[in-house]
C-alpha cells in the first residue's frame, strides 16, 4: 500500500508511441482543440449578442456549449503536454482535478440533454402554455439544477475515490478516470460499486424521461404539419446530439472492458471519443439545423468580411 496518496505520481500509459507519431498527433489534437473552442464560442457569442435568440432552447444550448468547452479543456491541454513530453505522468491531485472536470462534463451533458428534451416537449406539445410554463425564472432554475446536480454527482464520486489507499500507479489511458483509479486500490471498493449502481439508476431514469418526451413529440408531430416543422428544426439536432453522446459513452465502456487487445491508437480514440466528438459536433449540428442561429452567424461573418 502506498503510504501517502498525495505523493503519488500516476504514469499514463496511453501514449507509448514514437516521437514522430506523437508530433503528428499533437498537430491534429491542437487543431481539433482550437476548432472546438472556436465553434462553441461562436455559437455562445451569437446567442448572447442577438436578442431574438434569448429563448429557452438557445439558452440551454449555450449551457451545453459552455459544458463542451469545459469537457474539451479537461482533456486537450494535458494531452498536448504529454504528446511532447519525454514521459506522460500526472500527480495525484492533478489526476483528481482532471477526473472531477471530466465527470462533471459527462453528467452535465446528459442532464442538459434531458432538460432540453423536456423543453421541446413543452414547446411543441403545449405551445399555448409554453410561455407560462417556461418563463425566465424557470429557465434559470433548470440551469442551476443542471449544474448543481452534476457537481453533486461528481463530488460524491470523487470523495469515495479519495478515501481509497492505492497499490499501483499505472493507468492504461491517456487521461484519468474514476474507474481506472479505483482499479488501482488494494482495499474494499464496495462503496464505489454501490454508487456506480446509483448513477446507473439515475441516468436510466433520465433516459426514461427523454423517451417519454420524444414519444409525445413524435405523436404531436404526426398530428400537425406545424409541429412536424418544429420537430425537424429543433428536435432532430437534439436527438442527433443525444445519439452521438450515448454512442460515445458506449465506445468508452467497450474500451474499458475490451480495449486491452486492440491497437494503442484505436484504444486512445475509443477512450477519448466522448471528450472529443460531442463538444466539436454539437454546435455545428445546431448551427446548421437552427435557421435563426445559422442566418445570424452568416450575417455576422458577412459584416466582418465586408461582404
Least confident span in 98-102, 108-112, 113-117, 220-224: 220-224
Check pLDDT > 90 for residue 187.
no
Portion of the chain with pLDDT greater than 90, in percent: 30
d(CA 103, CA 89): 20
State the pLDDT at residue 2: 46
Q: Is the pLDDT of residue 5 over 60?
A: no
Residue among 159, 139, 171 at smallest CA distance from 60: 139
Distance CA 65, CA 49 (A): 15
Which pLDDT score, from 0 to 100, does residue 283 have?
Answer: 86
Cβ proximity of 220 and 124 under 8 Å: yes
Alpha helices for 53-177 (secondary structure H): 56-84, 92-125, 130-133, 136-162
Q: What is the pLDDT of residue 8?
A: 57
Q: Write the burial class of residue 28 (CB in 10 Å: 0-12 exposed, 13-18 middle, 19+ buried).
A: exposed
Query: What's the angle, vertex CA 246, arms to CA 242 and CA 252, rounded to 5?
Result: 150
pLDDT computed for residue 147 by the predictor:
96
Is there a contact between 102 and 177 (Cβ–Cβ < 8 Å)? yes
**Could you give all domains of the chain from N- to C-terminal order, each with its CATH number?**
5-305 (1.20.1070.10)
Q: State the pTM of this model.
A: 0.86
Amino acid at each position: 500500500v502506498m503510504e501517502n496518496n498525495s505523493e503519488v505520481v500516476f504514469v499514463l500509459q496511453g501514449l507509448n508511441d514514437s516521437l514522430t507519431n506523437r508530433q503528428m498527433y499533437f498537430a491534429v489534437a491542437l487543431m481539433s482543440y482550437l476548432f472546438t473552442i472556436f465553434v462553441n464560442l461562436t455559437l455562445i457569442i451569437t446567442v448572447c449578442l442577438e436578442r431574438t435568440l434569448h429563448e429557452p432552447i438557445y439558452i440551454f444550448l449555450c449551457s451545453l456549449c459552455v459544458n463542451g468547452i469545459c469537457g474539451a479543456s479537461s482533456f486537450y491541454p494535458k494531452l498536448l503536454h504529454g504528446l511532447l513530453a519525454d514521459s506522460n505522468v500526472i500527480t495525484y491531485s492533478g489526476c483528481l482535478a482532471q477526473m472531477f472536470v471530466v465527470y462533471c462534463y459527462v453528467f452535465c451533458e446528459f442532464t442538459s440533454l434531458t432538460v432540453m428534451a423536456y423543453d421541446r416537449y413543452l414547446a411543441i406539445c403545449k405551445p399555448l402554455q409554453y410561455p407560462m410554463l417556461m418563463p425566465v425564472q424557470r429557465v434559470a432554475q433548470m440551469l442551476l439544477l443542471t449544474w448543481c446536480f452534476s457537481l453533486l454527482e461528481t463530488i460524491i464520486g470523487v470523495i469515495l475515490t479519495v478515501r481509497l489507499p492505492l497499490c499501483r500507479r499505472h493507468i492504461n489511458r491517456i487521461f484519468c478516470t474514476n474507474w481506472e483509479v479505483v482499479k488501482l486500490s488494494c482495499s474494499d471498493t464496495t462503496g464505489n460499486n454501490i454508487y456506480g449502481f446509483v448513477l446507473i439508476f439515475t441516468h436510466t431514469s433520465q433516459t426514461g424521461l427523454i423517451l417519454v418526451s420524444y414519444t409525445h413529440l413524435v405523436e404531436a408531430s404526426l398530428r400537425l404539419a406545424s409541429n412536424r416543422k418544429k420537430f425537424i428544426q429543433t428536435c432532430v439536432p437534439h436527438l442527433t446530439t443525444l445519439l452521438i453522446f450515448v454512442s460515445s459513452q458506449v465506445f468508452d465502456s467497450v474500451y474499458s472492458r475490451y480495449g486491452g487487445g486492440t491497437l494503442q491508437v484505436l484504444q486512445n480514440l475509443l477512450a477519448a471519443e466522448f471528450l472529443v466528438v460531442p463538444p466539436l459536433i454539437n454546435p455545428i449540428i445546431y448551427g446548421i439545423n437552427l435557421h435563426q442561429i445559422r442566418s445570424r452567424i452568416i450575417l455576422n461573418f458577412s459584416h466582418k468580411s465586408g461582404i
